[in-house]
């Protein structure tokens, strides 16, 4: 990866959109924080943001978010571009863009509103992970969008048996954080958690317990 980084730095000015996204994604996936390379990718990506598809924008944002790097100019450029194209993206682009900004603690209300509007039209296409992290993202930013949250609840109830352990924890935590009492959803989550309790890690267990206690949903 060091050799790739050195070569990419020399050729960064010539890298295309997809190449920039792929390199950023790969380094993030490997957990490698190469600040010099990322700064170079950021500078070039900012000039090309208008050319990025919604999935590419989400992957770029995800890469920096996963590494915990807040690059304001890049993230502002991504948000600006995403707001005009996010409705054209697939459900993964929607959920991962929301997750990326929320995980960095960046509240961009116009972007999140655009994501919510687009998500509402495609919610039936969301898989359990997408539903889970979208609910988590809005709650992490303490952003109440009642229509989206209610719709996520209804869609989750239909797909709950397909939720993995962590995917069950996130919506429970989201509703508790937003102080929303949705007893049908919370009771359904509880039933699923019981069947998958062996798959939950310690963080899942503690957050699930906290969620039910915070809402006084004793089960």
Summarize pLDDT for 30-85 with one digit per residue, the tens.
898 989 989 988 998 898 888 888 999 999 999 999 999 999 999 999 999 999 89
Residue 145: Cβ within 10 Å count? 18
The alpha helices in the chain, defined as continuous H runs, are 2-11, 17-29, 35-48, 54-66, 72-85, 91-103, 109-122, 128-140, 146-159, 165-177, 183-195, 202-214
Confidence of residue 217 (pLDDT cuts 50, 70, 90): low
CA gap 72, 78 in Å, rounded = 10
**Mean of pLDDT values over 165-189:** 90
Give yes or no for residue 133 having a pLDDT over 90: yes
Q: pLDDT tens digits, residue range 17-42?
A: 888 888 888 989 889 898 998 998 89
């Amino acid at each position: 990866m060091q050799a790739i980084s050195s070569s990419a730095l020399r050729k960064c000015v010539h890298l295309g959109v997809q190449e920039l996204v792929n390199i950023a994604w790969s380094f993030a996936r490997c957990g490698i924080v190469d600040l010099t390379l990322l700064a170079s990718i950021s500078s070039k990506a900012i000039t090309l943001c208008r050319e990025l598809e919604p999935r590419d924008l989400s992957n770029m944002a995800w890469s920096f978010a996963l590494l915990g790097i807040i690059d304001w100019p890049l993230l502002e450029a991504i948000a600006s571009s995403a707001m005009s194209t996010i409705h054209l993206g697939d459900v993964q682009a929607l959920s991962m863009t929301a997750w990326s900004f929320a995980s960095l603690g960046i509240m961009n209300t116009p972007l999140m509103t655009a994501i919510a509007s687009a998500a509402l039209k495609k919610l039936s296409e969301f898989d359990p992970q997408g539903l889970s992290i979208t609910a988590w993202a809005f709650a992490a930013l303490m952003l109440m969008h009642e229509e989206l949250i209610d719709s996520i609840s209804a869609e989750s109830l239909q797909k709950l048996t397909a939720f993995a352990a962590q995917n069950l924890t996130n919506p429970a935590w989201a509703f508790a954080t937003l102080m929303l009492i949705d007893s049908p959803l919370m009771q359904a989550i509880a039933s699923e958690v019981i069947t998958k309790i062996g798959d939950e890690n310690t963080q899942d267990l503690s957050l699930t317990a906290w969620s039910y206690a915070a809402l006084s949903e004793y089960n």
